[in-house]
Amino acid sequence: MAQTDGRKGEIIQMASKLFRERGYSAVSMRDLAAGIGVKAASLYNHISSKQEILSSIIISIAERFTEGMNAIVSKKVSVKNKLEEMIDHHIQVMIDNPDGIACLNNDWVHLKEPELTYFLDMRNGYEENLRKILKEGIKSKEIKQVNVEVMLFSMLSTLRTLHLLHEKKKGIKTDNLKNEVKQILLTGIMN
Amino acid sequence: MAQTDGRKGEIIQMASKLFRERGYSAVSMRDLAAGIGVKAASLYNHISSKQEILSSIIISIAERFTEGMNAIVSKKVSVKNKLEEMIDHHIQVMIDNPDGIACLNNDWVHLKEPELTYFLDMRNGYEENLRKILKEGIKSKEIKQVNVEVMLFSMLSTLRTLHLLHEKKKGIKTDNLKNEVKQILLTGIMN
DNA sequence: GTCTATAAAATGATAGAC
DNA sequence: GTCTATCATTTTATAGAC
């Protein structure tokens, strides 16, 4: 779960915001400290390194994605239902922490072992589960006979970058966003 | 057009590759020089700053996107046709320089003025033109009555990150990729 | 728990020999 | 056009006073 209270939570929140804006490597510990209103050295009373902050941000979100997906794949419902639940869950995780999502997307390359492998395993597992759902849908004719990889990629591209839309259109209600994304990803745009 | 010959071209190519892998801020001039097989100081005989390299990479691609889109919007063809041509063009630009595209996507925030404004104007213009096509399609009933912004966003998300799919599936032929992306973006995945 | 001071390394860039 | 040497800054992180 996401740290939000206490100094450590404050550090992680501010780091998420700055990493989102400029990227992990372009944000210094001084920048981060200044954003909070303390000196850089003071940060080290709450965290042990810049790396640890990045890991905290990314891993907690990746675990939430993984748990949600694992709960959905094995359900005894239609493929359409599974895809809808997956999209809803993905969007909810984004809504709860858009800065962290942006950070996960852009800066996971800067994770160090063993967190890097742990993250990549979760990411691959997530993709593999979605691939399984799509293949099941093709088999049952719920889904068109198109290239699974392109289909998979297109859905994930939209979902993974949705924080950018969320940022630009702050007005849009969560339920509307979920419904509109579901409609477009599942049934396309052409009449 | 993309520089590819001469030392300067070599520098830009290697920079595109490294910026793609690690991001602009995480690649040092020493890293870049080592990738080419010279010392960092030697780079400055061909370029004036690290910033200039980033600008070279991003601006030339953004101009190509802009030119292509401008040529398409005003054509006297159906909306479906325009969208297909737009997708084909977008994918072609990506195929010709996948590293540069990745760099444009991830590192445009590190552009400095006046290039930053020039880039953002082109980017906004591109989006505005695509929005215009989609609205035209909604009016003519070629396109479904869904939220234009979500539709626009979903298409651009997929197109903008397509270098990631291209990297993972090197086997796929360009024409197949174009056709599959067109089918999925335009008609969706559900039967 | 925050501060000042500082260490040790890395960074973008320049000067000048060859 | 490339090199060595170097400058001025900035970086992450630690030590120790308060």
Transcribe B65-100 into DSSP letters.
HHHHHHHHHT-SS-HHHHHHHHHHHHHHHHHH-HHH
CATH number for position B174: 1.10.357.10
Which residue range is the domain that position A59 belongs to?
Answer: 49-187
In contact, A80 and A186? CB cutoff 8 Å: yes
- Asked whether residue B177, judged by its CB, lies under 7 Å from any atom of the DNA or RNA strand D, the reply is no
Chain B, 126 to 185: residues with Cβ < 8 Å from chain A are 134, 141-144, 146-147, 149-151, 153-155, 157-158, 160-162, 164-165, 168-169, 176-177, 180-181, 183-185
pLDDT bucket at A2, cuts 50 / 70 / 90: low
pTM for this structure?
0.96
Structural domain count of chain B: 1
Instruction: With a cut of 80, say whether residue A167 has pLDDT above it.
Output: yes
Per the model's pLDDT, the better-predicted residue between A2 and A189 turns out to be A189
In contact, B95 and B174? CB cutoff 8 Å: yes
Mean pLDDT value of segment A19-32 = 98
Residue B105: what residue type? N
| A58 part of a folded domain | yes
| A54 part of a folded domain | yes
Q: Please report, in angstroms and rounded to a whole number, the separation of the first and last CA atoms in chain A.
A: 42
Q: Does the N-terminal peptide bond of residue A114 adopt cis geometry, omega within 30 degrees of 0?
A: yes
| A159 part of a folded domain | yes
Nearest CA in chain A to B187: A188
pLDDT the model gives residue B189: 79
| B35 part of a folded domain | no
Instruction: With a cut of 60, say whether residue A143 has pLDDT above it.
Output: yes
In contact, A32 and A17? CB cutoff 8 Å: no
Nearest CA in chain B to A154: B158
